[in-house]
Every structure is written in C-alpha cells, then in structure tokens.
Amino acid sequence: MENRLSALEQQLLDLQQKVEQLEHRMDAGAQLIEPTEIKAKQRLQPVLEPSVQAPSEAEHLAALAFTFTNFITLSGRSLIVLGGAYLIRALTESHMLPASAGVAMGLLYAVLWILAAGRSAGKGLNGDATFHIVVATVIAFPLIFEATVHFHFLGHQSSAIALGFFSALALGIAWRFSHQAMAWIVAMAGLMTAVILIVNTGTVLPFGAFLLLLGLSTLWLGYERKWSLLRWPVAMAVDFVVLGLVLRAIGPERSESPALVIGLLMALVGTYLASFAVRTLVRGRDIVPFEIVQTAASLLLGLGGSVIVVRATHAAVEPLGAASLVLGIGSYAVAYAFISRTHGKNVNFYFYTALALVFALAGLRLLLGDSLLVISFCALAVGVTLLGRRFDHAALLLHGFTYLLGAAWVSGLLSDAGASILGEAATLGRESGWAGWLVLLVSIGCALTLNRKRESQVGLMTRVARLGQVGLLVILLGGTVIYLLAVLLMRLLGRPLDPGGVATLRTVVFACSAVILAASAHRWEIHEMGWLAWVLLGATGLKILVADLRVSGPSFLFLAFGCIGIAFILVPRLLSKASQERHPE
C-alpha cells in the first residue's frame, strides 16, 4: 500500500513540473508576440487613416451643399415675403384699400419681420436673422419714404418718428442678440432714407434730429458691443446735415425756427459730450480718436454754428451763453475729478480742460459786455494760473495765458501796444483806459507766479506757457512804456516826436528789455526769459539796420548804437553766468 502511495506522489510531482514548464513556455511566447503585433498595428495605421479622413471631407462637402441649399431656401422665402409687400401696395394703388390702411398694413408687416429676425437671432440662426432683417428694411424704409413723399400720409415729423421707431426696434434686437450685421443693415438703411427725405422734402430739422439719435445709438453700440466702425459713417452724416442746417438758417429763405435750430445744434454738442463723459469718467476709460474728432466737429458745428445763427438772426444770446458757460463749468469739474483720481497725468484731463476753456470763452463773450468781460478774464487768468502752479499742471498755465490774452484783446491794450511797437509816429495813442492798466497789472502778477523748477523737470507745455506769459508781458509793458515816454517827451519838447525820434525811443526800450529779460533769467532761473532776450536782441539789431538808419539822424543813431552795443555786451554775460550757475562743473 505504501509503495502505491509513493508512486502516486511521484506522478503528481512529475505532472506539476510539466505544468510549470508549459507556463514558462507560454509566457515566453507572449513576449515574442507583443512586439510583432505592435509593428503590425504601425504598418496598418497609415492604411486606416484615409478611411478615417474620408468621412470628414464628405461631411465638409455636405455642409457646403447644405449652406448653398439653405441660402436658396432663405432667398425663396424672402421673395415670397416681398411678394406679400407688393400685394399690399397693389391693393393700395388700385384703391381697394385706403392709402392710410395700406401704409399701416405695410408698416405692420415690416414690424412682424423685424420681430421674426429677432426670433431667429435668439435661436442662433444668424443667417435667417440676416435675411429677415434685409427683407424688413426693404419693406419699411422705402414705404416710409413713399408714405411721406408720394402718399402724403406721414408728415415730416411723423416720418422722422417712424424712422426712429423702426431703427430703435431693429438696433435693440441687434444689441440684445449681438448681431452686428443687423445693426449695419438697419443703420445704413435709416441713414440713407433720412438723407433722401431731406433732399426730396427740403426739411432738415426733424430728420437731422433722427440722425442725431441714430448717431448716439451707434456710439453706444460701439461702447457696449465693440462695433467701433459703425459710429463713424453715421457721425459724419450727422455733421454734414448739421452744417447744411446752419447754412439754411442764415440764408435768405429761413424755413426753420432759429430757436429750434440752435436747440438741435446744442443738443449735438451736449449729447455727444455727455456720452464721452460717462465713458471716461464713470467707466474710467481713456479718450479714443473718434471722441476727439467728433468733439472737434461738434464744437465747430454745434457751438460755432449756434453763434453764427444767433448773430445772423438777431436771436437772444443769453440762453446760448448760459448753456455754454454751464458746459464750461461742468467740463472743469470733470477735469478736476481726473486730477483727484490720476493727478491729471492722463489724456482725459487735457481733453476736458480744453473743452472747458472753449465753453468758458464762448459763454462769457456771449453774456458779458466788454468791461465785465475784461474783469472776468483777468479773474480767471489769475485763478487758473495759481491753480496751475498749485497742481503743477502746464495745461492750466496755458489756460491762464489764454484768458489773459483774451483780456488784453478785449480791453484794447494789445492793439495799443502793437501800435506803439510797430505803428507810425502819428498812430501813437491809447484807447484802452482803465481796463488796459488792469490787464497790465494782472499780466505782471501772472508772470511772477511762473513755476521755478530745474530744467530737466520742465515739460514742453510748461515752456510754451512760460513763453506765452513772458512774451505777452514784454509786448504789453514795452508798448506801454514807449507810449508813456513818447507822451512825456512830447510835453517836454512841446511838439510830437518825429519818426527818427520814435525809432530811437523804440530801440532804447527794446535794448533795455533784452537786458532786463537776461537779468531776470539769471535771477529767477527761468530759461525761457533768456530765449526771449536773445530773440529781442537780434530783432533790435535788425531793426536798427532796416528802420533807424533810414529815418534817424546822427544824434539819434549815436544813442541807438550806444544802447544796443551795451545790450550786446550785458546780455551774453548775464545768460552765461546763469548757465554756469545751473550747470556748475
């Protein structure tokens, strides 16, 4: 029994060894088969790629075929819609429908297709929406034209209102579903219809108001949807129509009321600038080229056109002046807001201060007489110049110079000084009176407030402001001194000065002025005074050669050459010393 059990155990061990050997052989075979299968797959892969790409090309061709088919289908549907519109027109022309009913049905028909365009756009079917809006514009805008010109169903104001309604509805849908093509189609159709109606009816005001609203709509579509190109053609059309309105208002045949014309012109200025202010101040954006160009056009056509219309029609200037002054104050307030936020170092600050200057000058000129205007300009010159120095803003310094220049012009001091410097001896006179003395004192005070900084910290606009302030002071003060000396010598001699004496007097004053400028540049470290000293010195030397040698006698020439010679010695030394102090070795 034991022998049998031992034999059975031996057989089981042999069977186990054979099974293990078989497993080892199967593992080795699997390792040999795997690389072979990978290589076979790599060989088969290029063969299978064409069969994978083939369906994509077929799908592409099918998509093209579907697009073409869809285009034809939409075209057929649009033609059927147009057929319906012509059916309504045929019923109207055959008097089967009253003209009022036919026009109303046509307009309602167009509204339905505008709404259908919005429905398609809401579903993402942009192609359907484009076809529907094209059909709607082809129906609506020509129908408005015919209802105004041919059927006389719509008056001029009603026609403009209808244009506004259809444009607002379609542009609202375009904005809601961000459909730029729809906005372009409607805006261009409305623009062309308004222009054609202006030409055919001879009425500008209501259709100009519609174009202004259309321009504002496209402006805000550009802000909200980044459709920046759409606002350009509409704004250009608005500007040209406004120009035509101004020319009609001052022409021999004045069909529009001057008050309404001025209202539309100021609406052009106010609405565009208010939109720009919201974008730049509330939303914190920088001025873009369109806003700069349209602001210039609005000021020239709106504000300038209003002034022209007021002068030509003798309308009341107070409302226009008050509106302009309010806009100027508002522009300064907006500019001050940019000072608070960004310290006035961005383009928005300069933009709104320039607007404020234009509005303030125009408003004060329209509201005040010459005496009050001089006082106002002088007060503004002092205040704005001090603010410019306080906030270190060259733009405000330039504004101070501009107000001062306006005061010198209105008071007559500038013309008096010019006559004293350039006129003949017989033209020496003074008509500015107390206003001229006030302007002269203010000019001296503003020149004394000029910023004194190192040359590396002085910008271009600050240099221009300095040159303007100092140059104006030299002209006003030099002309006044020449006049006073001429009067004093006339009383001492008992007769007026002859041309030679006047020429020598001017040479002496100019030479002394050059020396004073050079000394001031050295004392106050204002480099621009040195530039003006060189210019004045050269101009005086040229004047002696051109004028003094021709009209002055030997005694006067002796005095003139002596003064200019001393000036030629002192000015370079003073300026050289000032330069050495600014740039020590």
pLDDT digit string, tens, across residues 260-281 = 999 999 999 999 999 998 998 8
| Per-residue pLDDT tens over the stretch 425-449 | 656 666 678 899 999 999 998 888 8
Q: Which residue has the higher pLDDT, 74 or 302?
A: 302
> Which pLDDT belongs to residue 579?
61
pTM over the 0.75 mark: yes
pLDDT tens-digit readout, 463-475: 888 889 999 999 9
Work out the percent of the chain whose per-residue pLDDT is above 70.
77
**pLDDT tens figures, 337-382:** 766 555 545 788 888 889 999 999 999 999 999 999 999 999 999 9
Q: Could you read off the pLDDT of 407-426 as tens digits, one per residue?
A: 999 999 999 998 888 877 65
Identity at 273, one-letter amino acid code: L
Helix (H, G, I), strand (E, B) or coil at 44: helix
CA gap 94, 101 in Å, rounded: 13
Read off φ and ψ for residue 98, nearest 5 degrees. -60, 150
* Of 296 and 28, the one with more pLDDT: 296
Angstrom distances, CA of residue 575 to CA of 124, 449, 528, 530: 75, 21, 11, 7
Closest CA to 159 of 117, 204, 115, 217: 204
**Rounded to whole angstroms, how far apart are CA atoms 413 and 276?**
39
Helix (H) or strand (E) holding 341: helix 318-342
State the first-to-last Cα distance of the chain, in angstroms, to the nearest integer.
127
pLDDT, the chain, mean: 81
Which sign, positive or negative, has the C-alpha torsion 57, 59, 62, 67? negative
CB 401 within 8 A of CB 377: no
Contact 66, 120 (CB under 8 A): no
